[in-house]
Amino acid sequence: MRPYEKVRRRLRSLAFAGVLLPALLVPAVAAQGASGSPQSVRGSHSGSLATPSAVPGGDPWVVSLGDSYISGEGGRWAGNTDQSSSKIDALGPTAYFDNKDHTAELIPRCHRSLSAEVHIGIAHSLNLACSGARTSTFTEGGYFKPGLDFYNVGGHQGQALMLRDFALKNRVTMVAVSIGGNDFGFGDVVTSCVEHYLAGTLCKNDLAVTSHFNAANAARITKDIASALRNVGLAMASAGYPDNSYKILVQNYPSPIPFGVDFRYPEHYNRQFVGGCGLWNADADWALQTAMPTVTRSIGAAIVDSGLRNIITMDVSRAVGGHKLCEKGVGLLEEVGLNSWKDPGAVDKTEWINQIRIVTFGTDYFQQESLHPNYWSQLGLRNCLRQAYSGPVPHGGVCVIARKGLTFRGEPEMSLL
């Protein structure tokens, strides 16, 4: 068997998007109060879309919908290390528990982390997003992934229906959305590109990879994203909300890797087995110049096609600049002289994107955490989302790092331009 073939086979057998154990979405869902403390809230689970007479009163809520890039996937870890995982374990083994008692996940492997950006603290917050979600609900291998739709079968619900049910009894003033990456097959693309790296070939020359981003597929996914966004509007309208009573904030995706010239590891197997970033320079450049811009354009076109008048946007593509996976200028804890994520200056010296981990058996890591924003970047995104929400009316902008250090909330210093 050729070198690394066993690793490549193991990689193919696992899905970066993560798998969900089948579970019912129970009526009681864990939420965050304006103070950050857990609250239990309940909503109707009727399948009817009849419109009530008025928007509920009470304190305002912010709700997040979508996929792993807003659910909080990977938020347990603050930086990367090839030593003990305890050195970067910011949230511990309960990081993704979101039920009322904080003892389990409502939908296993949705990975709604405590560090998720929606928990802005100046309003109550509810995280309905799910790692691996696409625009439409699907079940694969027995694993349930709610989409932005009104799916309602056997106790399983789509995120739009969850939103509608919640908004019927709670005053929702902003809905934050991240969706579309999994429709483009993000997990399969990453898997294939790492396999190509280990095999010594380029994934940018593989039609099975590049076809995810051709014009026909992008056009189809644009329609799907537009439909998903309209479902968000329909959910709110059916709960009695006029368009001018809330905002839908749609964000794109952060660029998790640098251009090839800015990788701090040479193109050698150690790029993956030390840095956890097994991509050829040419493939990294293709991803940043072709694949990601295609996703971003589709999201932008879908916003226009949705016809919704109350959408604002938050561009997060530059939110981890200087802290990308394997980027020069930052490093693993041990590479930058740190012993723990708690050490002074750790946020400025380390990566904000989780390593690509091809085998996680016997560790505290999940493979689905790979290449996702970690604890630091999620708190940075939270800072930007709070800025977007603040003021008389929520507003959009471009989320960037403002300066080194942490705010009084323990979040990276960010600006919403």
Q: How does pLDDT run across 217-237, given as a tens digit for each residue?
A: 999 999 999 999 999 999 999
Measure CA 95 to chain center.
15
Structure confidence at residue 279 (pLDDT): 98
Instruction: Choose the weakest-confidence range: 23-32, 256-265, 341-350, 355-364.
Output: 23-32
Q: Is the pLDDT higher at 212 or at 7?
A: 212
Q: Cα 121 from chain centroid?
A: 19
Separation between Cα atoms, residue 75 and residue 378, nearest integer Å:
7
pLDDT of residue 140: 80
- Mapping DSSP onto H, E and C, the string for 194-221 reads HHHHHHCCCHHHCHHHHHHHCHHHHHHH
What is the tens place of the pLDDT at every residue in 254-290? 999 999 999 999 999 899 999 999 999 999 999 999 9
Question: For the residues 3-13, what does the mean pLDDT come to?
Answer: 45
Q: How confident is the model at residue 33 (pLDDT cuts 50, 70, 90)?
A: low
Tell me which of 8-12, 176-180, 205-209 is least confident.
Answer: 8-12
Distance of alpha carbon 227 from alpha carbon 231, whole angstroms: 6
* Confidence at 45, pLDDT banded by 50, 70, 90: very low
397-406 vs 29-32, strand pairing mode? unpaired
How far is 200 from 382, CA to CA, in rounded Å? Answer: 39
Q: What is the CATH number of domain 5-416?
A: 3.40.50.1110
Q: In percent, how much of the chain has pLDDT > 70?
A: 87
Average pLDDT over residues 375-403: 97
pLDDT at 48: 54
Instruction: Centre a 10 Å sphere on the Cβ of residue 88 and count the other Cβ atoms it contains.
Output: 25
- Average pLDDT, whole number, for the chain? 90
Give the model's pLDDT for residue 308.
98
Q: What is the pTM of this model?
A: 0.89
Give residue-wise pLDDT tens across range 106-117: 999 999 999 999
Q: Give pLDDT, residue 161.
A: 98
Give which of 106, 95, 109, 99 is closest to 143, Cα–Cα. Answer: 109
Q: Report d(CA 356, CA 372) in Å as an integer.
A: 9
**What per-residue string of b and e applies to 323-346 under the rule 16 or more CB within 10 Å gives b?**
bbbbbeebbbbebbebebbebeeb
- In contact, 55 and 240? CB cutoff 8 Å: yes
Interhelix angle 159-167/215-238, rounded to 10 degrees, is 20
pLDDT at 4 over 90: no
Query: Any residues with CB less than 8 A from the CB of 37 and at least 6 apart, and which?
Result: none
Least confident of 33-42, 138-147, 171-180, 289-298: 33-42
343-356 average pLDDT score: 98
Decide if pLDDT at 125 tops 70.
yes
Amino acid 143: pLDDT: 81
pLDDT of residue 357: 94
pLDDT of residue 52 exceeding 70, the answer is no
Q: Residue 316 pLDDT more than 50?
A: yes
Q: What is the residue extent of each domain of the chain?
A: 5-416
State mean pLDDT over 377-400: 97
Structure tokens at 68: 């792993």
Q: How far does Cα 177 stand from its chain's mean position?
A: 10
The answer on pLDDT for 291 being more than 50 is yes
Rounded Cα distance, 278 and 283, in Å: 10
Question: How far apart are alpha carbons 151 and 132 in whole angstroms?
Answer: 16
Calpha distance 304→226 (Å, rounded): 8
Alpha-carbon distances of 169 from 43, 110, 121, 261, 285, rounded to whole Å? 6, 24, 20, 52, 47
42 in Cβ contact with 169 (< 8 Å): yes
User: Which amino acid would we find at residue 323?
Assistant: H
DSSP secondary structure code for residue 290 in this structure? I
Q: Mean pLDDT across the stretch 115-128?
A: 98
